[in-house]
């Protein structure tokens, strides 16, 4: 029988099927961070258990670390306690740990791929919904809750019903100034924030094939924002070239063997999906969001919808959302003043994102009155940005580069956007209060963020390209 | 963590007719700094429930003093967004034992079930009827897990709901997945060796 990429990986990881229940699925890589793990380790302790496969478990701290003065003790007591608890748990159980003073520390979904911890054909979980990022390598990667973290720590397995399968194809060539962030915001605006629930997505088509690994990660990262369990892309030469030579990637004979297997990881001709969506790259333009879920997106040159096609509670939610945002229906957003710009997160905090940002702000100046937070996704990204001279370009343009962490993506540390202020963010969620109580988030690509940072307004980046 | 058994639940409910209630609303990230599972109930719907200065928002449903009960009824696509299990802990910590909606986000559904919180998915139409019936705060719902049936007592209308049979069994008996997996550890080791 013809199988999809998802079927192939899933089937080879099922330990046991339960009558009328979920499958017991074996997990190759377990990523851990400080916020969703303490209760899981405590649960393990109370059962008198040790981590079952510590060599397959990789921890880092990212969610609540400060992005300035990381060499100093963390000031927020509770954050410090979570970071210290993780370090102690890692030590106790002998798991890999990239703590604050480790040169490989970073946002968990930036660190994993960088280290070669993420490989094609694997099952990967983490107590974080954006684990879907790792699907870019042709792996089944999804977020789990803390009880499930405990489960994987204890048994290296998880209990999951097999999701339905969705194919999303994007064909053709992307226009100037259109990035993978725009592709995914476009897709979510079509499918809606809940439209992918119950599905696991495979992204395919010529426009997807042409993307770099980092761009693919941006895309898969946000598959969760349509409610899907995850998204994946079949591995190809781009994938293999990226993986080869990374610290935890296989070498020598093991590499050859792995590569031979990875090359079989593709959806068979004629395999069946439960749902298929096709889009044309040429229809996609730079995107922004106007509301409080990632499905509320539009092309940057568009006008905010008026919700007249909605009824009842849908309409109420729509109006509540625009009201929170202080944005008017039926009006364009181009030219709207912006207070904050945040470039970072596991969506767009990689080196290519900062290259994009720097390419646009080079030789220009940060607009007066805009506060910009440029936060690298990892220590490696930070180092690379310095090595490439990006930090110099940014400094000349009036920007400062901070230290790695999740930062304003979820505002658990001090990087909070004040109430009522508008932030153009390259992160993935524009929920009410996500970037701080009352903060108003406009999701966009690094290019749109750069155009806003130098003009102080929502600006079409194509004007500068 | 061992969970409480869930068989039937009957009582009044708290209506929250808002759609796409994401986990950032259920429990904002800044209140996720605990290292235990306790205490999250105090910050359930924090930013809807309290003003910035900590004063309660009077007209928010949990503060009105009109509605009470251990069943929360919410609009479509409940629990979307972050995978934080803290959302389930906040809801159970506050005292809810079941959430009724016309649609649940996947991860939330799992997290809820793992904490003995029953997600009951009803039709759009039935949900509207429940919201309408909330005009009388004394209206009760009855949720029968054995029969997989939810009933609005004021009108007598019932609707069957779906739940994975394995999960249903776990809830009815108060088992959890880890107990199950620990029991088949030999099989897991076998699986590793055969790869
Ligand atoms: S950067 Fe944002 S989305 Fe990514 S792991 Fe951190 S908090 Fe989650």
Q: What residues contact residue B182 under an 8 Å CB cut-off, 6+ apart? A: A47, A49, A154, A155
The answer to whether the CB of A345 is under 6 A from ligand 1 is yes
Q: Under an 8 A CB cutoff, do B184 and A312 touch?
A: no
Contact assignment for A429 to B81 by CB distance below 8 Å:
yes
pLDDT for res A331: 97
> DSSP label at A311?
-
| Positions of CATH 3.30.499.10 in chain A | 1-285, 310-464
A106 to A59, A61, A173: CA distances (angstroms): 10, 7, 33
Instruction: Categorize the per-residue pLDDT at B2 as very low, low, confident or very high, splitting at 50, 70 and 90.
Output: low
C-alpha to C-alpha distance for A206 and A173, rounded to whole angstroms: 8
Nearest alpha carbon to residue A110 among A133, A77, A90, A76: A133
Query: pLDDT, tens digit, for every residue of B9-44?
Result: 999 999 999 999 999 999 998 888 888 888 899 999
Q: Which of B82, B88, B188 sits opposite A157 (nearest CB)?
A: B188
Contact (CB<8Å) A432/B103: no
Rounded to whole angstroms, the Cα distance separating A131 from A110 reads 10
Which pLDDT value is given to residue B102?
A: 97
Distance A31 CA to ligand 1 centre (A): 13
So what's the pLDDT on residue B75? 95
Residues B118-123: what's their mean pLDDT?
A: 98
3-class DSSP state of A382: helix
- Rounded Cα distance between A307 and A314, Å, is 9
Cα separation, B108 vs B78, in Å, equals 8
Cα–Cα distance for residue pair B4/A403, rounded to 1 Å: 44
List B residues 142-161 in contact with A (Cβ-Cβ < 8 A).
none
More confident residue, B171 or B3: B171
Q: For residues A291 and A322, is the Cβ–Cβ distance under 8 A?
A: yes
Instruction: Please tell me which residue, B1 or A92, carries the higher pLDDT value.
Output: A92
Mean pLDDT to the nearest integer, B122-132:
97
Give the CA angle between residues B93, B99, B100 to the nearest 5°.
165
**CB-closest option in B83, B165, B167 to A129:** B83
- B92 to chain A, any CB pair closer than 8 A? The answer is no
Ligand 1 pocket check for A428: Cβ under 6 Å: yes
Question: In the CATH hierarchy, which top-level class contains the domain A1-285?
Answer: alpha beta
User: Per residue in B40-61, pLDDT tens?
Assistant: 999 999 999 999 899 999 999 9
Residues 6+ apart with CB under 8 A from A94: A51, A54
Residues found in chain B:
195
- A82 CB neighbours in chain B (<8 A) are 33, 35
Query: What pLDDT, on a 0 to 100 scale, did the predictor assign at position A20?
Result: 76
What whole-number distance in Å separates Cα of residue B87 and Cα of residue B76? 17
Least confident of A288-302, A449-463, B146-160, B163-177: B163-177
- pLDDT recorded at residue B38: 85
Averages of pLDDT over each 10 residues, chain A, 465 residues = 97 92 95 95 94 98 94 92 96 97 97 98 97 98 94 96 97 98 98 95 98 98 96 98 98 98 98 98 98 98 96 89 97 98 98 98 97 98 98 96 96 95 98 96 98 98 96
Which atom of ligand 1 lies closest to the CA of A129? 8
What is the rounded average pLDDT for all residues in chain B? Answer: 93
Residue B148 has pLDDT above 80, yes or no: yes
* Assigned superfamily of A310-464: Aconitase, domain 3 (3.30.499.10)
Query: Rounded CA gap, A388 and A436, in Å?
Result: 33
Q: What is the average per-residue pLDDT within B141-152?
A: 97
User: How many helices and strands in chain B, by DSSP H and E?
Assistant: 9, 7
List the structure tokens of A115.
């280290």
Q: Is the CB of A434 under 6 A from ligand 1?
A: no
């Amino acid at each position: 029988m013809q199988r999809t990429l998802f079927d192939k990986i899933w089937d080879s990881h099922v330990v046991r099927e339960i009558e009328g229940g979920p499958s017991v699925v074996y997990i190759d890589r377990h990523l851990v961070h400080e916020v969703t793990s303490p209760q899981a380790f405590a649960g393990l302790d109370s059962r008198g258990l040790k981590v079952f496969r510590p060599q397959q478990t990789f921890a880092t701290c990212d969610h609540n670390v400060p992005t300035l003065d990381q060499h100093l003790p963390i000031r927020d007591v509770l954050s410090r306690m979570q970071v210290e608890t993780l370090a102690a748990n890692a030590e106790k159980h002998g798991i890999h740990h990239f703590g604050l003073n480790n040169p490989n520390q970073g946002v968990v979904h930036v660190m994993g791929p960088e280290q070669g911890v993420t490989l094609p054909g694997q099952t990967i979980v983490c107590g974080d919904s954006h684990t879907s990022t790792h699907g870019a390598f042709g792996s089944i990667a999804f977020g789990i809750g803390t009880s499930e973290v405990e489960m994987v720590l204890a048994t290296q397995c998880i209990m999951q019903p097999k999701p339905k399968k969705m194919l999303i194809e994007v064909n053709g060539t992307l226009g100037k100034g259109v990035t993978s962030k725009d592709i995914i915001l476009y897709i979510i605006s079509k499918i809606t924030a809940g439209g992918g629930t119950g599905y696991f997505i495979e992204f395919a088509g010529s426009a997807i094939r042409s993307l770099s690994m980092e761009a693919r990660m941006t895309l898969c990262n946000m598959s969760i924002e349509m409610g899907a369990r995850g998204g994946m892309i079949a591995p190809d030469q781009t994938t293999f070239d990226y993986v080869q030579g990374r610290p935890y990637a296989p070498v020598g004979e093991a590499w050859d063997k792995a590569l031979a297997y990875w090359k079989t990881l593709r959806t068979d001709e004629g395999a069946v999906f439960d749902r298929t969506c096709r889009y044309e790259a040429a229809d996609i333009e730079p995107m922004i969001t106007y509301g409080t879920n990632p499905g509320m997106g539009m092309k940057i040159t568009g006008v905010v919808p008026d919700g007249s096609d909605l009824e009842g509670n849908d309409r109420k939610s729509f109006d509540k959302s625009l009201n929170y945002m202080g944005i008017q229906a039926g009006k364009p957003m181009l030219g709207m003043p912006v207070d904050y710009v945040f470039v970072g997160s596991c969506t767009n905090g990689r080196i290519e994102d900062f290259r994009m940002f720097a390419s646009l702000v080079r030789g220009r100046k940060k607009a007066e009155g805009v506060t910009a937070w440029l936060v690298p996704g990892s220590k490696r990204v930070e180092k690379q940005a310095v090595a490439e001279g990006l930090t110099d370009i940014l400094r000349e343009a009036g920007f400062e580069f901070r230290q790695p962490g999740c930062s304003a993506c979820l505002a658990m540390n001090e990087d909070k956007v004040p109430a009522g202020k508008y932030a153009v963010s390259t992160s993935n969620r524009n929920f009410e209060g996500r970037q701080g109580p009352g903060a108003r988030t406009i999701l966009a690509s690094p290019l749109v963020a750069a155009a806003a940072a130098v003009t102080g307004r929502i600006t079409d980046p194509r004007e500068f390209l | 963590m061992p969970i409480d058994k869930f068989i039937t639940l009957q009582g009044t409910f708290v209506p929250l007719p808002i759609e796409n209630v994401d986990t950032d609303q259920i429990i904002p990230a800044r209140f996720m700094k605990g290292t235990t599972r306790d205490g999250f109930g105090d910050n359930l719907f924090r930013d809807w429930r309290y003003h910035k200065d900590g004063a309660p928002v009077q007209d928010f449903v949990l503060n009105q003093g009109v509605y009470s009960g251990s069943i929360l009824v919410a609009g479509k696509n409940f629990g979307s967004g972050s995978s934080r299990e803290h959302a389930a802990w906040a809801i159970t910590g506050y005292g809810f034992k079941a959430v009724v909606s016309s649609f649940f986000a996947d991860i939330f559904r799992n997290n809820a079930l793992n904490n003995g919180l029953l997600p009951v998915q009803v039709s759009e139409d039935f949900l509207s009827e429940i919201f309408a019936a909330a005009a009388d705060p004394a209206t009760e719902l009855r949720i029968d897990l054995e029969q997989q049936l939810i009933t609005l007592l004021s009108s007598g209308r019932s609707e069957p709901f779906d739940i994975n049979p394995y999960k249903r069994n776990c809830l009815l008996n108060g088992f959890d997945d880890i107990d199950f997996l620990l029991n088949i550890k030999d099989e897991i080791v076998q699986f590793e060796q055969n790869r």
